[in-house]
């Protein structure tokens, strides 16, 4: 029999009770964390979001409460009335370890099934299980801590922004495409048959329009949606601190964000100081082989192309440049450790990897015969290698990114070796502003220049003339904020003139018609006296992840999706009722799979539902021409409608051979 909460009132959080409360009556409420039955004494550890308290049930003095406690199970929801007493022997592991709660009454408010994993920080359950049972996962102290920190950071950011005169304005979720370089999530309109809203990839256009609207200083803590190829540090929906201001210089925006970050770090108990250092994009690439350099350690890159004479370059098939770095203390690497480096480097796109060992006995190199002792020495010197260091030089497989390819490979290697050699000081918080980005980047897939950021990014005044003639030389007024090698956000001073915005769209290859259709309203708005403006957006999931000391953003998002964009708990995305599709005037095309048949003909499988990665199979289809050939139906869900067609060799008519 379960008890009602009735009029019972909680007096204390479990984790809040201390020795100074001894002698007081207390009522706590929470979950049974653990139960130990010692016969006459029964102990329940009761847990709520603040922590755990040990509750003691004494069979002799409180037989009724004791009897009831025998019914309590792990994760039962309980309310306990009792008296706080000092423990004879304190438990130093527990914040409440100096006291017990001597129970006088137990109320069992709800039962619980046995959870699939223990509610503790140290668990071995897979992330998949944790996400599926997120409500249980959230009961653990670590997610609590992370979500509380997230709340505090966001609250502090709102305060700082308010203090600086920014006002939070909400922008629509049902809107139209914003070009941030990803695919849109579309929402079909029921009322306007055949038309779609897009969920915002960012509030970019709206915040710029707010500047045209005279709002002067805007911010918003806002969800953005991007249908991109997912990576470990991405989610299809994520949260930004979005900022825009009118009449800004670049340093005004930097100082706003520095204020925000200094205060956000302070909330997490981390002391950082503004202003943050700046670096040009091209220097970041040449010195660190990255557009988000981790400044917590050295191991800078050096271009050493001229240490490789023409003949050696030919023998080693080096097409472009060679970049090198000195790995401190790695001269003593074992054969096995040395062998791993080229393996790693090749995986990162290196063509060749060349070593120079700087040992007490002298300098030796794997390429000494080819480049000569003089060049080996020059190479070691160029990298500032000291005795005990190993110089690693790399050339890149392809020179797609010009002289930078080898630097990018070396940059990855720098991170891996730096980590392996314990060079990264994990107690440091190294912010960095990156500026001087190119406006365009070449897209191999589209064979055209595309915006390196979004197409509203301002253009360095002197480079304007090159917009049509030498787009690759045009620099943008964009900037990125990086912390410890993680990109926290990016922004720019914007294009505020309609004529320039239109020229940029044209440089991107948009026709007049496409331009009007996609951005007509915005170009119109720009013609009504748009002030110079600029802004930035910070990724708050990443900010919180770093400040919480977590390695995955999913640890700081209450209801995170998997890397396949699935919410395992809510089971979304999901199919919808056919009537909902009818309302929207939408029909789902069956998924088609084609393959060859052994008879020389072809198979075609239509399925309304494919279960990705599923091994289940509703059987196999037999070839109508030559029955010795089969098509196993793997990955097709039994739930939906599916059918199989066969095309005989030389025929043009598909035959339906199987249907369900
Ligand atoms: N809208 C940009 C983004 O989401 C940020 C900005 O330029 O302010 O990355």
Q: How many CB atoms lie within 10 A of CB 629?
A: 19
Mutate to test the pocket of ligand 1, among 221, 242, 455 (most ligand atoms within 8 A of CB): 242
344-351 mean pLDDT: 88
Closest C-alpha to ligand 1, atom 8? 536
pLDDT(92) > 90: yes
Mutate to test the pocket of ligand 1, among 537, 539, 543 (most ligand atoms within 8 A of CB): 537
The predicted-structure confidence for 282-322, as pLDDT tens digits, reads as follows 999 999 999 999 999 999 999 999 999 999 999 999 988 99
Residue 562 DSSP code? -
The predicted-structure confidence for 574-598, as pLDDT tens digits, reads as follows 989 989 999 999 988 777 788 899 9
Backbone dihedral region for residue 436 (phi beyond 0: left; psi -120 to 50: alpha; all else: beta) = left
Of the pLDDT bands very low, low, confident and very high (cuts 50, 70, 90), residue 105 is very high
Token pair 């900037």 in the structure block, residue:
479
- With beta carbons less than 8 A apart as the criterion, state whether 112 and 75 touch: yes
Strands, E, within 512-628: which ranges? 533-539, 591-596, 602-607, 620-622
Nearest to 383 by CA among 326, 320, 427: 326
Instruction: Round to whole Å and give the CA distance between 56 and 65.
Output: 10
Termini Cα distance of the chain:
49
For domain 14-110, which CATH number applies: 3.40.50.2300, 3.10.20.440, 3.40.50.300, 2.40.50.140? 2.40.50.140
What does the block give as tokens for 7? 């009029």
Instruction: Round to whole Å and give the CA distance between 657 and 645.
Output: 6
- 400 C-alpha vs ligand 1 centroid, how far in Å? 27
Mutate to test the pocket of ligand 1, among 209, 535, 541, 542 (most ligand atoms within 8 A of CB): 535
Instruction: Round to whole Å and give the CA distance between 623 and 340.
Output: 50
- With beta carbons less than 8 A apart as the criterion, state whether 47 and 40 touch: no
pLDDT at 607: 81
What does the block give as tokens for 138? 């959230």
Residues contacting residue 341 through CB under 8 Å, at least 6 positions apart: 333, 353, 355, 392, 413, 417
- 416 C-alpha vs ligand 1 centroid, how far in Å? 30
What is the CATH number assigned to the segment(s) 297-420? 3.30.1360.30
pLDDT at 559: 97
- 51 C-alpha vs ligand 1 centroid, how far in Å? 40
- With beta carbons less than 8 A apart as the criterion, state whether 30 and 47 touch: yes
Q: Is the dihedral of CA 241, 245, 250, 252 positive or negative?
A: negative
Buried b (16+ CB within 10 A) or exposed e, 290-308: bbbbbbbbebbbbbbbebb
pLDDT at 616: 62
Range of lowest pLDDT (10-24, 396-410, 468-482): 396-410
12-16 mean pLDDT: 98
Of the pLDDT bands very low, low, confident and very high (cuts 50, 70, 90), residue 380 is very high
Closest C-alpha to ligand 1, atom 3? 537
- 490 C-alpha vs ligand 1 centroid, how far in Å? 6
- 536 C-alpha vs ligand 1 centroid, how far in Å? 6
The predicted-structure confidence for 223-250, as pLDDT tens digits, reads as follows 999 998 777 778 999 999 999 999 999 9
- 240 C-alpha vs ligand 1 centroid, how far in Å? 9
> Which atom of ligand 1 lies at the shortest distance from residue 492's CA?
7
Buried b (16+ CB within 10 A) or exposed e, 246-268: bebebeebbbbbbbbbbbbbebb
What does the block give as tokens for 120? 């503790």
pLDDT at 232: 74
Token pair 């040992």 in the structure block, residue:
359
Q: Pairing mode, if any, of strands 167-168 and 217-225?
A: parallel
Four-point Cα dihedral 218, 221, 226, 229, nearest 10: 130
Provide the residue ranges of all domains of the chain, joining segments of one domain with +.
14-110, 143-276+537-556, 297-420, 431-478+494-536, 591-659
- 21 C-alpha vs ligand 1 centroid, how far in Å? 52
Residues with CB under 6 A from ligand 1: 180, 202, 204, 454, 490-492, 535-537
For domain 143-276+537-556, which CATH number applies: 3.30.1330.90, 3.30.930.10, 3.30.70.520, 3.40.50.2020? 3.30.930.10
Instruction: Round to whole Å and give the CA distance between 76 and 80.
Output: 12
Mutate to test the pocket of ligand 1, among 257, 292, 453, 542 (most ligand atoms within 8 A of CB): 453
- With beta carbons less than 8 A apart as the criterion, state whether 107 and 78 touch: yes
pLDDT at 446: 78
- 538 C-alpha vs ligand 1 centroid, how far in Å? 8
Closest C-alpha to ligand 1, atom 7? 491
Name 103's bridge partners. Answer: 82
Token pair 């160029």 in the structure block, residue:
382
- 532 C-alpha vs ligand 1 centroid, how far in Å? 16
Q: Pairing mode, if any, of strands 431-435 and 278-280?
A: parallel
pTM exceeding 0.75: yes
The predicted-structure confidence for 111-153, as pLDDT tens digits, reads as follows 999 999 999 888 899 999 999 999 999 999 999 999 999 999 9
pLDDT(457) > 90: yes
Closest C-alpha to ligand 1, atom 4? 202
At 83 the three-state DSSP class reads strand
Query: Phi and psi for 129 in degrees, rounded to 5?
Result: -65, -40
């Amino acid at each position: 029999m379960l008890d009602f909460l009735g009029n019972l009132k909680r007096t204390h959080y479990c984790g809040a009770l201390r020795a100074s409360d001894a002698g007081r009556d207390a009522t706590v409420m929470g979950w049974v964390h653990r139960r130990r039955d010692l016969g006459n004494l029964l102990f329940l550890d009761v847990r709520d979001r603040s922590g755990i308290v040990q509750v003691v049930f004494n069979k002799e003095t409180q037989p009724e409460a004791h009897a009831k406690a025998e019914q309590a199970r792990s994760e039962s929801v309980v309310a306990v009335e009792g008296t706080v007493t000092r423990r004879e022997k304190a438990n130093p592991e527990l914040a409440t370890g100096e006291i017990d709660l001597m129970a006088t009454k137990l109320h069992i408010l709800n039962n619980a099934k046995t959870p699939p994993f223990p509610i503790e920080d140290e668990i071995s359950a897979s992330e998949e299980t944790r996400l599926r049972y997120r409500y249980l996962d959230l009961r653990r102290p670590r997610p609590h801590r992370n979500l509380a920190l997230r709340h505090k950071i966001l609250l502090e950011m709102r305060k700082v922004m308010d203090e600086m005169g920014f006002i939070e304005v909400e922008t629509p979720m049902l809107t139209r495409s914003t070009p941030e370089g990803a695919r849109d999530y579309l929402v079909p309109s029921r009322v306007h048959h055949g038309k779609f809203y897009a969920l915002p990839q960012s509030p970019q256009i709206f915040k710029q329009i707010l500047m045209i609207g005279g709002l002067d200083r805007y911010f918003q803590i806002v969800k953005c949606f991007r249908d991109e190829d997912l990576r470990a540090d991405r989610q299809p929906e994520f949260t930004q601190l979005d900022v825009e201001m009118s009449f800004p210089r670049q340093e005004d925006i930097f100082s706003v964000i520095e204020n925000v970050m200094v205060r956000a770090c302070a909330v997490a108990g981390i002391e950082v100081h503004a202003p943050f250092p700046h670096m040009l994009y091209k220097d970041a690439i040449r010195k660190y082989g990255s557009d988000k350099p981790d400044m917590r350690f050295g191991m800078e890159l050096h271009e050493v192309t001229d240490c490789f004479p023409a003949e050696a370059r030919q023998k080693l098939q080096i097409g472009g440049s060679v970049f090198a770095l000195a790995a401190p203390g790695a001269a003593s690497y074992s054969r096995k450790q040395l062998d791993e480096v080229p393996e790693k480097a090749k995986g990162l796109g290196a063509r060749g990897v060349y070593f120079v060992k700087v040992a007490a006995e002298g300098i030796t190199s794997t390429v000494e015969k080819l480049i000569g002792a003089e060049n080996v020495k020059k190479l070691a010197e160029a990298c500032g290698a000291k005795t005990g260091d190993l110089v690693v030089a790399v050339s890149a497989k392809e020179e797609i990114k010009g002289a930078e390819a080898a630097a990018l490979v070396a940059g990855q290697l720098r991170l891996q070796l730096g980590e392996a050699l314990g060079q990264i000081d994990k107690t440091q918080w190294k912010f960095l502003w990156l500026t001087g980005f190119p406006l365009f980047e070449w897209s191999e897939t589209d064979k055209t220049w595309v915006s390196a950021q979004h197409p509203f990014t301002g253009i360095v005044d002197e480079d304007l003339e090159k917009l049509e003639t030498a787009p690759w030389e045009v620099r943008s007024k964009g900037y990125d904020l990086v912390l410890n090698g993680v990109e926290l956000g990016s922004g720019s001073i914007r294009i505020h003139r309609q004529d320039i915005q239109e020229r940029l769209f044209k440089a991107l290859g948009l026709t007049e018609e496409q331009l009007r259709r996609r951005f007509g309203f915005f170009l119109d708005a720009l013609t009504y006296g748009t002030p110079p403006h600029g802004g930035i957006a910070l990724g708050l999931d990443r900010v919180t992840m770093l400040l919480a000391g977590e390695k995955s953003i999913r640890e700081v998002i209450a209801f995170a999706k998997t890397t396949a964009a699935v919410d395992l708990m809510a089971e979304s995305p999901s199919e919808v009722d056919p009537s909902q599709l009818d309302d929207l005037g939408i029909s789902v095309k069956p998924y088609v799979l084609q393959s060859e048949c052994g008879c020389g003909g072809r198979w075609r499988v239509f399925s309304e539902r494919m279960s990705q990665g599923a091994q289940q199979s509703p059987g196999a289809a037999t070839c109508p021409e030559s029955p010795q050939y089969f098509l196993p139906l793997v990955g097709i869900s039994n739930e939906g409608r599916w059918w199989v067609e066969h095309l005989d060799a030389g025929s043009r008519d598909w035959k339906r051979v199987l249907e369900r």
